[in-house]
Structure 1
Amino acid sequence: MKRKIIEFNNFSFQYRVQADPTLKNINLSIYEGEKILIVGASGSGKSTLAHCLNGLVPFYYEGEISGQIKISGDDIKNKNIFELSKIVGTVLQDPDSQFIGLTVGEDIAFKLENNCVNQSEMKNKVSQSAKLVGIDSEIDSSPYRLSGGQKQRVTLAGVTVDEVKILLFDEPLASLDPATGKNAIELIDKIQKDQNKTMIIIEHRLEDVLHCDVDRIIVMENGCIVSDTTPKELLSSNILSSVGVREPLYITALKYAGCKIEPGSNPDNINKLDVSEYKWKLKTWIDSKNLVNETKNHDAILELEDISFNYNNEKQILKNVSFKVNKGDMFSILGKNGAGKSTISKLICGFYKPTSGKIIFKGKDISKETIKERSEKIGYVMQNPNQMISKTMIFDEVALGLKIRGFNEAEIKERVYKVLKICGLYGYRNWPISALSFGQKKRVTIASILVLNPEIIILDEPTAGQDFKHYSEIMEFLKELNKEGVTIVMITHDMHLMLEYTNNVVVLSDGKKICDDTAINVLTNKEVIEKANLKETSLYELALKCNIDYPRQFIKKFIDYDRRVR
């Protein structure tokens, strides 16, 4: 019989600066070697629960505690944060914020150095940890120069180097392309099986985590645990949709068709799903839906002509990339980590200058325009919100661009409040930014650009770290802006976002354009998917399993219907 490694007994926690408890009467047991997924909307208490396990509560975040938490049989009140770090290793959603060393090897060795491990033993342990996560070939590289997936591997090696018993992952997939995210989940699964470690994963991308089996899914809402059950049981219920967590898309499609999902059909994995009882209903339902045809504008607002770029005569990052974005488009740029997607956005905004080629806005070459001149018509929301934020308070950050442009206080207040409501931040308008989660900071940076009403908005991973409710709110707001004529360009790893909201897609691989097509055609093209580290949507896989004759039409009809009913 497995022993309990984590026990919450009637545990509650209230932050010192808040009026109500964030965690309320938590009772939870996690057993040695289990893999647990924790899901819930933003503000449900997921991150606070994690902070209780790694010692950030109460040693960093102060507040009032009642009840008890035991880890490996010991009450955490009897341990300090250093002692807890030897039992619980944490992998943050933003790897850059976790790096200490100048090289991969130094970063992995950091905990060993603190423990005064002798050098020969240290080198051996660093080598073993690097091999375990497949990063040993980059041992002398700077961690900041690695791709997103490689950075995750470095942080994972750093927390496993001293044989912690529990690994805690805070949204490990947020910044990873689909194929790299899949590899990360497989790596987590391998470490769990090979070393019998207890894995706790907090993640919004439920369907991606379920690529490999998990033992239980904990669902949180308003600081309480509302469900603690197996994936099969959970996906056979309506609990996820009731708390604002997106179900796997194939499950949603089956439910729209009136299918009653049963645990015995293996609903937790599309590859194992038994569709024999669902085929007829799904075909009947999809045949009853009509395709919605959208009118398209073919007037280009932005054009890239043979753009090439390299840093300091080093390896070429972009190679003769050409494409155009039409006025009023919802446009996506896809590709694996390191393909050159973010570099293109920085070239458009003027942060970098192309080695060769032209950038044309409304028929005019803007290559010689300054960053400020371009910012009047092109807004840019960066992937990492910490790189954009310059003010202490939320209101001041969102208002900054308007103040610089000389707007009066009354108009600034009206526009800032309107955008904060849209982005789900109005209730935090007087908060310091330091008190926000990574996802909330992301919404602040989006709000700070939206408030300026640019003609084009470029968003680098706009929904990374967002729950389904805020994902929908932000994207529907962008859709409304788009209807009013604002052109939206998104760099994203979210395949369903791309399918649901964008008309045209450019796909990059190794600095070259390999595809320029519609969203549905891209995600049903196996060659492009493989080259660009993308992933087929589970809707396409469901259509094939159910022998639906026109899988692309099936996907389009589902998306049209899903957006209408939401």
Structure 2
Amino acid sequence: MIRFDDYSCTYAGKSTPLLHCITLQINPGEFVFVTGPSGGGKSTLCSSINGLIPNEMDGSMYKGSVTVDNICVQTTFPQELVSVVGTVLQDPEWQLVRGTVREELTFACENMGVPIEEIDRRLAKVVEQVKIKHLLPLSPLELSGGQKQLVAITACLMMQPKVIVLDEPTAELDPLGKEMVIQTIRQLHSEWNYTVVFVDHNLDVTFPYADRVIVIAEGCIIANAPPHKLYDQPGIGNWLPMPQIVEISRKLDVRDQQGGKDYGDPFTVEVLKKRLIELQLDQPKIKETNLQEQISFHGPSDSNPIIELKQVIFSYKKQQDDLTIKPLNLRIGKGEFIAVIGKNGAGKSTLCKLITGLVKPQSGEVLIEGKILSSLRTEQRVKHVGLVFQNPDFQLVQKTVFEEIAYGLKIQKLSKNEITERVTSVSKLLHIDRYMQDHPHFLSRGERRRVAIASVLVLEPEVIILDEPTNGLDAVRTREMMEYIHLLWKRGHTIIMLTHDMRIVADYVPRTVVMADGQIKLDGPTSFIFSKKEELYQNHITLPPVIELSYALDWTNPALTSDDFVSRICPSKNERPTELGGVI
């Protein structure tokens, strides 16, 4: 269905190809998961399939060929390919342009001159496929992030493509939104035999659904294998950290074996649970401790919190029934590390805008170190609180990456040497030092996010608020980012992090606040929060795989990390199993 023959792609002015001598074949009906480091060439691969390269991207040059359903992509314009290749982008708002969902779904067919009767027939079919009939009369602006993405997918299906290309379609969604979109795509794939090319960084969520995994790094395919065999390939772990279930099974030397045959790594909770029970490793060998004691939790002190919200009420609308933030009280102590979690639209970003003074409460008070926020001048607020927006484009205003990162330091009138030293240090840490003279808006979304984060981290404010700091980053960059954020916390900074990545929360964050409907529903040690399985699910929050596995095994207290899980089963090296499906 898709064929790359010795294909290379380069943009004008770039000496290094974005894709280099790619030879690849994707068969009809396959569900292919494409992943790898940020900037490695994944989006370029997608644009080479749907014809945006070379037909719509000025300066893109290629060698070799790409064919889709025996059609040469390089000589066919994208509008002629839409009936063969459908594309769903990372942000659905980039491709939703009409007043209602019904109009959105029929828009492309009308432009292509499809007869009205055929449009109606297709519409009835696809809304039933994707289960969104109830959304037809609504405006896309009224929908949640997950619903918007389903509408974008449905609009793609209206053209009856043979291939669906999805470029990080779940990056902006909450955990249940991610699963809803992926399950919908998998169902459509299995029932209607679409060929699916799914680009994503979230291995824990996407891995179980794929028929094949293609890893792209530095413009080359470095791995191409079924999920359960991917990590048998030498060196792949250097490019792609393991999904949590694979990581646990490897540490326990557990393979998926049936009837003496090795089926490779378990990569779902169900399969690993079954193998652990078969091997009698399903019960901890050490006493389960109280998880509230496993992570030191320093709640806000009774006196002098660095941030305090008292009976804060805020709404983007004047009607009393449409409050975004309802009477809310929150105290954050100096030097705390807090995660704020919740579904899209829960009020997390608005909470952070209130703390930074970007919006003002209708009533109540926001205090910074005991001072009313509204009484502080802008330059005073910046020294106290720095905010990294979820969308990096909202805060990139300079012509080069160096100028962007240095902008705040120049306003503070630091010396040229100190500015250069601090910019160099943070840019190397975030792996953007090679882009110092590039325009920020010419970078990929993940790279732009790192520039935005660097521009705040370089200021080292007392309180650092990060809205989805790992969104769009690959697994390696995510861990590096979190290690740096953790270091800033250890140095005394107060960290407030908004995130949909529950594994990051479990691995790094001592205190977690759960928001829903503009209110704080839960607040406490992260271990305590993850013990509230039903409450989390009701608030559209899914659990990391290791916690799901703990509950599946009926453990009283779930393990928060892979190492915690393994240490409970194998407390010492002497008790480590050696013949459990073969030592890896």
TM-score (norm 1): 0.90
Query: Which deviates more from structure 2 when the two are superposed, residues 439-448 or residues 128-137?
Result: 128-137
Moved more, 100-109 or 306-315: 100-109
Letter in 2 for 1:27: T
Matched, 1:305 2:310: yes
**Aligned residue number for residue 171 of structure 2:** 174
Deviations 1:52-110 (A, max 9, x none): 11112222153442222111112223312222233211111122222322433333333
Label 1:411 to 1:492 Cα distance change in 2 as closer, same or farther (>3 A).
Answer: same
| CA apart distance, 1:560 | 11
2:506 pairs with 1:499: yes
The alpha carbon displacement at 1:203 in A equals 0.5
Aligned counterpart for 1:296 among listed residues 298, 305, 312: 298
The Cα of 1:338 is off from its aligned counterpart by: 1.1
What residue in structure 1 maps to residue 215 of structure 2? Answer: 219
Contact 2:546 2:560 in 1 (8 A): no
8 Å contact 2:249–2:265 — kept in the other structure? no
Kindly provide the amino acid, as one letter, of the partner of residue 197 in structure 1.
Y
2:237 to 233, 237, 241: 241
Distance in 1 (CA, whole Å) between partners of 2:98 and 2:147 is 15
Following the alignment from structure 2 to structure 1, what is the Cα–Cα distance between the partners of residues 5 and 365?
63
The aligned residue for residue 206 of structure 1 is 203
Q: Which moved more, 1:545-554 or 1:78-87?
A: 545-554
Alignment correspondent of 2:351? 344
Residues in 2 aligned to 1:416 and 1:430: alpha-carbon distance in whole angstroms: 13
- Out of 93, 104, 110, the residue aligned to residue 96 of structure 1 is 93
Tell me how far apart the structure 1 counterparts of residues 530 and 475 of structure 2 sit (CA, whole Å).
Answer: 22
Q: Check conservation: 1:235, 1:268, Cα contact below 8 A.
A: no
| Other-structure match for 1:357 | 364
Query: Which residue does the alignment assign to 1:30?
Result: 26
For residue 230 of structure 2, what is the amino acid of its counterpart? L
Q: Does 27-36 or 389-398 show the bigger shift?
A: 389-398
Measured at CA, do residues 396 and 110 of structure 1 come closer, stay the same or move farther in structure 2, by a change above 3 Å?
farther
Aligned partners of 2:215, 2:328: CA distance in 1, in Å? 44
**Matched residues in 2 for 1:246 and 1:170: separation?**
20
Q: CA deviation at 1:414?
A: 2.3
- Alpha carbons 2:295, 2:527 under 8 Å: kept: no
Deviations 1:323-350 (A, max 9, x none): 2222111101111111111111111111
- State the SS of the aligned residue for 1:551: coil
Counterparts of residues 114-193 of structure 1 (less than 5 Å): 114-117=111-114, 122=119, 125-126=122-123, 128-193=125-190
Instruction: For structure 1, list consecutive stretches of 5 or more residues without a partner in the other structure.
Output: 562-566
Paired residue type of 2:37: A
Which amino acid is 1:252 matched to? E
Contact 2:189 2:196 in 1 (8 A): yes
Change (3 A) 1:396 1:104: farther
Alignment partners' CA distance in 1, 2:40 and 2:79? 27
What is the distance in 2 between the residues matched to 1:399 and 1:97?
Answer: 30
Q: How much has 1:179 moved relative to structure 2?
A: 1.1
Which whole-Å CA distance do the structure 2 matches of 1:550 and 1:529 have between them?
16
| Equivalent position SS for 1:415 | helix
What letter matches 2:462 in structure 1? E
Give how far 1:7 is off.
0.9
Q: Which residue of 2 aligns with 1:564?
A: none
Structure 2 gaps of 5+ residues are 569-584
Q: Distance in 2 between matches of 1:108 and 1:284?
A: 56
Provide the rounded CA distance (Å) in 2 between the counterparts of 1:489 and 1:434: 26
Cα RMSD (Å) of the superposition?
Answer: 2.9
Contact 2:51 2:74 (8 Å CA) reproduced: no
| Displacement after TM superposition at 1:280 (Å) | 3.9
Q: Is 1:231 matched with 2:227?
A: yes
Shift in alpha-carbon separation, 1:258–1:173, aligned structure 2, 3 A: same
**Structure 2 length as normaliser, TM-score?**
0.87
> Is contact 1:509-1:531 (8 Å) kept?
no
Comparing 373-382 with 179-188, which one deviates more in the overlay? 373-382
Cα distance, 1:553–1:382 mapped onto 2, change above 3 Å:
closer
* Aligned residue identity for 1:312: K
Per the alignment, residue 573 of structure 2 pairs with none
Cα distance, 1:465 vs structure 2: 0.9
User: Residues 467 and 209 of structure 1: is their aligned pair in 2 closer, same or farther, counting only changes over 3 Å?
Assistant: same
Match of 2:490 in 1: 483
Q: 2:582 matched to which residue of 1?
A: none
Q: Which residue of 2 aligns with 1:40?
A: 36
Aligned to 1:51: 47
Q: Distance in 2 between matches of 1:61 and 1:537?
A: 42
Aligned to 2:444: 437
Aligned counterparts of 2:35 and 2:286: Cα–Cα separation in 1 = 30
Contact 2:252/2:566, CA 8 A, preserved across alignment: no
| Residue 234 (structure 1) shift | 1.8
Relative to structure 1, is the Cα distance of residues 241 and 71 closer, same or farther in structure 2, using a 3 angstrom cutoff? same
Tell me which residue corresponds to 2:581: none
Count of aligned pairs: 554
Structure 1 residue 364 displacement after superposition: 2.3
Check 1:115–1:293 CA distance in 2 against 1; reply closer, same or farther (3 A cut).
Answer: closer
Q: 1:250 aligns with which of 240, 245, 252?
A: 245
CA distance in 2, matches of 1:286, 1:306: 43
